[in-house]
């Protein structure tokens, strides 16, 4: 079997930032407006007034300080509370494809490869801006890659599941070189009017170039093993879909047409699954926790990452052993662990071992064990 390696990664970061202060100011202006509008119902007890959000809560509950977004004007308008992303003509590149191409070009440059040497593009993301044709095929055309391309969605685990799919094809010889790309416009499916989650997400795109070890010319990480796991749960769910107009009230402004979660349950149920998954994967490869140099975890919540790091290593990890980027990017769904890997892997020495792990809706968990070559 051929040995897959990661020879390049790229991150596209939008140029607009929303700080917690801006976020909370808009949210509180929105709640004040709604409460004033519904004053009569609040007075009769028919309706509970909406509560304010606070910067302290957001930072303490999540570790997030800011997020990058594709459009802040709509999100920060209390009368809008979602991004404004104008419809493009069918002849223009789609917005997801455009973000993805930027990240892919960076990954190709790092590996010193041309696009036409790539024969697979997987666009692995938690949402796709249209049903078809696949965003991945548009990316293939914009970049000029050969072979084939397809979209896949395993929510926050899309990147690691995409890496496993690409690795399996490289191992078996059906493709030679693959780009797994994760354009995430989370601001489009976040309910910015919901106090419990309005602070969670941000936008970004990441790309990972995977090729055969014998082809890699520069620095790279050998992919020793990949492992995926799923277990059904409704605790992170979005009911938006192609049957929307066929359902009574389907096209109404319904809460369940955006990201919804039972955050407490997610916290409690997902953490043991993830910690057990990583430890089991390492055990099966004969890797001791003391041999692990780095954990690049999904970037949803600082407390979650602290817990997983402690469980896997059996002690409190040093900050450089388990780097977080969520304070700057917030939760960027599938892209989070790849941003962490891209920004915090150069300093590892040949032979050093690390785990990329993403997890989330499904539930789903994917782990990729890598060794610096």
Query: Closer to ligand COA at the Cβ: 323 or 360?
Result: 360
Among 256, 94, 110, CA closest to 183: 94
Closest CB to ligand COA among 57 and 148? 57
Choice from 53, 140, 160, 206 touching ligand COA (CB under 6 A): 53
- When asked if residue 127 is in the footprint of ligand COA (CB under 6 A), the reply is no
CB nearer ligand COA, residue 42 or residue 61: 61
Query: Which segment (72-80, 128-136, 213-221, 298-306) binds ligand COA by CB under 6 A?
Result: 298-306
- Footprint on residues 152-211 left by ligand COA (CB under 6 A): 156, 195-196, 200
Backbone angles phi, psi at 118, to 5 degrees: -95, 130
DSSP-derived letter for residue 369 is E
Residue 360 lies near ligand COA (rule: CB under 6 A): yes
Q: Minimum distance from CB of 190 to ligand COA (Å)?
A: 11
Best CA proximity match to 355, nearest among 343, 339, 344, 371: 371
Q: Is-contact 218 111, C-beta < 8 A?
A: yes
Rounded Cα distance, 194 and 258, in Å:
10
Give the nearest distance from C-beta 301 to ligand COA in angstroms: 4
Residue 366 token pair: 């994917």
Q: Which is nearer to ligand COA, 142 or 229 (CB)?
A: 229
Quick check: 61 binds ligand COA (CB under 6 A)? yes
Choose between 271 and 348: whose C-beta lies nearer to ligand COA: 271
Looking at the chain, list the stretches that DSSP marks H as alpha helix, in order from N- to C-terminal side: 20-37, 39-43, 55-62, 72-75, 95-111, 135-143, 158-172, 263-284, 302-313, 326-329, 336-343
> From the CB of 62, what's the least distance to ligand COA, in Å?
5
* Residue-by-residue DSSP string for 234-259: SSEE---STTGGGSTTTTS--GGGS-
User: Which of the stretches 33-41, 53-61, 107-115, 145-153 binds ligand COA when contact is defined by CB under 6 A?
Assistant: 53-61
Is 277 near ligand COA (CB under 6 A)?
no
Concerning whether 156 is annotated as a catalytic residue, the answer is yes
With contacts defined by CB under 6 A, name the span among 38-46, 70-78, 243-251, 263-271 that binds ligand COA.
263-271
Q: Which residue is nearest to ligand COA (CB)?
A: 263
Q: Which residue has the tokens 């004033």?
A: 36
At closest approach, how far in Å is the CB of 357 from ligand COA? 12
Q: Which residue in 20, 258, 279, 301 binds ligand COA (CB under 6 A)?
A: 301
Please report how close the Cβ of residue 302 comes to ligand COA at its closest, in angstroms.
9
Alpha-carbon separation of residue 149 from 138, 143, 226 (angstroms):
9, 12, 21
Q: Are 97 and 149 in contact (CB under 8 A)?
A: no
Q: Report which of 226, 59, 243, 258 is spatially closest to residue 157, judged by C-alpha positions.
A: 226
# residues contacting ligand COA (CB under 6 A) = 21
Distance of alpha carbon 61 from alpha carbon 199, whole angstroms: 10
Give the single-character DSSP code of 201: B
By CB under 6 A, residue 237 contacts ligand COA: no
| Piece of the chain touching ligand COA by CB under 6 A; list 135-143, 240-248, 260-268, 339-347 | 260-268
Residue 236 contacts ligand COA per CB under 6 A: yes
Which residue from 54, 141, 240, 327 is in contact with ligand COA, where contact means CB under 6 A? 54
Catalytic residue among 123, 156, 186, 357: 156
DSSP string, 3-61: -EEEEEEEEE--SEEEEHHHHHHHHHHHHHHHHHHTHHHHHTTSSPPPPPP-HHHHHHH
Q: Specify whether the CB–CB gap between 154 and 161 falls below 8 A.
A: yes
**Contact between 299 and ligand COA per CB under 6 A:** no
- The residue from 157, 158, 261, 299 that contacts ligand COA (CB under 6 A) is 261
Sites of contact with ligand COA (CB under 6 A): 53-54, 57-58, 61-62, 156, 195-196, 200, 236, 261, 263-264, 266-267, 300-301, 304, 331, 360
- Which residues are tagged catalytic? 156
């Amino acid at each position: 079997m051929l040995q897959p390696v990661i020879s390049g990664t790229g991150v596209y970061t939008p140029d607009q930032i929303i700080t917690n202060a801006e976020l909370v100011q808009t949210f509180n202006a929105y709640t004040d407006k709604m409460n004033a509008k519904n004053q009569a119902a609040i007075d009769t007890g028919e309706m509970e007034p909406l509560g304010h959000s606070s910067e302290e809560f957001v930072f303490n509950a999540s570790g997030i300080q800011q997020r990058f977004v594709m459009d802040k004007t709509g999100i920060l308008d209390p009368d809008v509370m979602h991004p404004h992303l104008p419809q493009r003509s069918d002849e223009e590149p789609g917005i997801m494809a455009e973000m993805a191409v930027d990240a892919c070009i960076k990954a190709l440059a790092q590996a010193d490869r041309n696009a036409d040497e790539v024969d697979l593009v997987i666009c692995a993301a938690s949402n796709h801006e249209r049903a078809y044709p696949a965003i991945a095929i548009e990316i293939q055309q914009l970049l000029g890659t050969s072979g084939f391309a397809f979209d896949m969605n395993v929510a926050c685990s899309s990147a690691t599941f995409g890496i496993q799919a690409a690795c399996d094809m490289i191992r078996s010889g059906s493709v030679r070189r693959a780009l797994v790309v994760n354009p995430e416009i989370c601001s489009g499916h976040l309910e910015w009017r919901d106090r419990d989650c309005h602070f969670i997400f941000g936008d970004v795109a990441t790309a990972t170039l995977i090729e055969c070890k014998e082809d890699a010319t520069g620095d790279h990480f050998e992919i020793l093993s990949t492992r995926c796991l799923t277990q059904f749960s409704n605790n992170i769910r979005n009911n938006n879909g192609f049957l929307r107009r066929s359902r009574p009230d389907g096209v109404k402004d319904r809460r369940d047409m955006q990201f919804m979660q039972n955050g407490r349950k997610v916290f409690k149920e997902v953490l043991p699954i993830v910690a057990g998954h990583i430890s089991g994967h390492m055990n099966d490869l004969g890797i001791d926790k003391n041999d692990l140099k780095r954990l690049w975890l999904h970037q949803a919540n600082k407390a979650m990452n602290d817990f997983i790091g402690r469980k896997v290593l059996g002690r409190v990890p040093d900050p450089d052993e388990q780097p977080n980027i969520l304070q700057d990017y917030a939760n960027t769904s599938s892209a989070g662990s790849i941003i962490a890997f891209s920004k915090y892997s150069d300093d590892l020495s040949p032979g050093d071992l690390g785990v990329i792990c993403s997890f989330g809706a499904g539930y789903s968990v994917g782990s990729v064990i890598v060794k610096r070559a």
